[in-house]
């Protein structure tokens, strides 16, 4: 749904899908939530989050703009810019300290 709206709005879309996004994550060998930096556990709901939210009106759906996140983290963040979200919940480094 969001992707269709983004296409209609003329935002970039490299045609990538879950296969390409997974490949990117495997290449990085860092299979963790990009929001809380927690690793994924069996049974975790994983959602694909747009680094730069589509709602921002500039970024689209491309491999470089899609990251895996816990469902709960993604829902918590919604369309909040990353720096604003981290200011609210604390960065993962702060949370670990």
Contact status: 73 vs Zn ion (CB under 5 A): yes
Q: At its nearest, how many Å lie between Zn ion and the CB of residue 26?
A: 18
Per CB under 5 A, 33 contacts Zn ion:
yes
Residue showing the smallest CB distance to Zn ion in the complex: 33
**By CB under 5 A, how many residues form the interface with Zn ion?**
6
Of 36, 54, 59, 68, which lies in the binding site for Zn ion, with binding defined by CB under 5 A? Answer: 36
Return all residues near 42 (Cβ < 8 A) that are at least 6 apart. none
Q: Are 46 and 69 in contact (CB under 8 A)?
A: yes
Under 8 Å CB-to-CB from 82, ≥6 apart: which residues? Answer: 51
Whole-angstrom Cα distance, residue 86 to residue 89?
Answer: 5
Q: Which is nearer to Zn ion, 13 or 38 (CB)?
A: 38
Task: List residues binding Zn ion (CB under 5 A).
Answer: 33, 35-36, 38, 70, 73
């Amino acid at each position: 749904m969001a992707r269709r709206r983004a296409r209609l709005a003329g935002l970039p879309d490299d045609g990538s899908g879950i296969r390409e996004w997974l490949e990117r994550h495997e290449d990085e060998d860092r299979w963790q939530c990009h929001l809380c930096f927690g690793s994924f556990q069996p049974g975790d709901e994983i959602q694909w989050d747009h680094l730069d939210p589509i709602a921002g009106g500039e970024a689209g759906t491309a491999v470089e703009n899609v990251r895996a996140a816990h469902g709960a983290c993604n829902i918590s963040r919604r369309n909040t810019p990353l720096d604003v979200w981290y200011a609210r919940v604390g960065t993962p480094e702060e949370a670990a300290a």
